């Protein structure tokens, strides 16, 4: 039987998750193939997505400017961000389309602003805003270890020390 969770590149495992306990976060039947859901653990918003490769868990924060990917569009393994149309492959962690605001890709290469077909070209705002766009680096996704046990999706997240 195929694994119900997707494998991901080992180097993209979220920091601080090695050896952490798994926590139940959602009934498996609540996440059919093609669905995305946000689950929140303390201050951490996690995106669960059921891709053709299996279930993945990553931050529910776009790796560009942190918009919630859970309200974007999922097409196969690729999620489109609702804010600047950046597209990210949930099965590899790689960006597949840079945001309309341009900026730096994970290797640090610059990409200019662009506009979807039929829309007016984006004009760069003056001064610091343009510089902020230019210097914002889109990173690769990071993954939380995920498994399915007794019909429940479980993930491992970093333990946050209590403030007191």
Contact residue for ligand FES among 53, 54, 86, 102 (CB under 6 A):
86
DSSP structure string for 86-149: -EEETTT--EEE--TT-EE-TT--EE-----TTSPPPPPPSTHHHHHHHHPBPPPP-B--EEEE
CA distance 44 to 158: 10
Nearer to ligand FES, 57 or 62 (CB): 62
Contact residue for ligand FES among 47, 81, 91, 155 (CB under 6 A):
81
What would you measure as the largest C-alpha separation in the chain, in angstroms? 56
Instruction: Please report how close the Cβ of residue 160 comes to ligand FES at its closest, in angstroms.
Output: 24
Contact string 34-73 vs ligand FES (x = CB under 6 A)? ----------------------------x-xx-x------
Instruction: Report DSSP state, residue 52.
Output: T
Which residues are 45's β-sheet partners?
Answer: 40
Q: Based on the shown chain and the rule CB under 6 A, indicate whether residue 140 belongs to the binding site for ligand FES.
A: no
- The residue count for binding ligand FES (CB under 6 A) is 9
Residues in contact with ligand FES by the rule CB under 6 A: 62, 64-65, 67, 81, 83-84, 86, 99
């Amino acid at each position: 039987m195929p694994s119900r969770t997707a494998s991901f590149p080992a180097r993209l495992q979220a920091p601080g998750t090695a050896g952490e306990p798994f926590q139940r976060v959602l009934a498996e039947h609540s996440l059919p193939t093609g669905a995305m859901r946000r689950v929140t653990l303390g201050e951490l918003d996690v995106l669960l997505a059921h891709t053709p490769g299996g279930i993945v868990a990553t931050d529910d924060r776009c790796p560009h400017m942190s918009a919630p990917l859970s309200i974007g569009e999922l097409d196969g393994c690729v999620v489109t961000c609702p804010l600047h149309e950046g597209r990210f492959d949930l099965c590899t962690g790689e960006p597949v389309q840079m945001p309309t605001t341009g900026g730096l890709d994970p290797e640090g290469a610059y990409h200019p602003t662009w506009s979807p077909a039929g829309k007016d070209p984006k004009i760069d705002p003056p001064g610091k805003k343009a510089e902020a766009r230019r210097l914002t680096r889109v990173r690769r996704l990071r993954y939380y270890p995920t498994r399915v046990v007794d019909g429940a999706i479980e993930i491992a997240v970093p333990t946050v020390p209590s403030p007191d």
